[in-house]
Amino acid sequence: MSAIDTLLEEARARLHRLDPAQAAAVQRAGGLLVDIRYAALRARDGTIPGALVVERNELEWRLDPTGDHRAPEATGHDLHTVVICNEGYASSLAAVSLHRLGLHRATDLIGGFQSWRAAGLPVIPGTARTDG
């Protein structure tokens, strides 16, 4: 097993990861979905309605409820937060990073945005042109 596979396995052991239906239920209950995909993927595939878009390199600064650069949605350490990447790998590592900031209810979406879309859940179309 490679070092990253080990790191990912350790990260996921700390999380109660959610499937798309569970993540949608968290959002309906007032939790926060956080899309960490980069702009080109969002433009190509679309976004989840109501999700906060924070690219991965800004995540900790924007979600730390005690930080000066926090997003208004970062209301406290008890906020149920579901991190979403493209396929559910980077989001696991990011969710554990949020745990280290004290966001003890942070987790991620199994299969990422692609599993959300495959489950038929709402998606706002991307802006990428597909007509050549």
DSSP-assigned beta bridge partners for residue 108: 83
pLDDT computed for residue 128 by the predictor: 76
Nearest by Cα to 106 from 69, 76, 86: 76
What pLDDT is stored for residue 67 in this prediction? 94
Q: What topology is assigned to 3-118 in CATH?
A: Oxidized Rhodanese; domain 1 (3.40.250)
Q: Give per-10-residue mean pLDDT for the chain (132 aa).
A: 95 97 98 97 98 97 96 96 98 98 97 98 87 54
Q: Which residues pair with 18 in a beta bridge?
A: 109
Please choose, from the candidates 21, 1, 26, 3, the residue with its C-alpha nearest in 3D space to the C-alpha of residue 95.
26
For residue 130, the model assigns a pLDDT of 57
Where are the domains positioned within the chain? 3-118
CA angle 104, 105, 106 (to 5 degrees): 95
Q: Give φ, ψ of 11 to 5 degrees.
A: -65, -50
State residue 17's pLDDT score: 98
Q: What is the pLDDT of residue 69?
A: 96
- For residue 32, the SS3 value is strand
pTM: 0.94
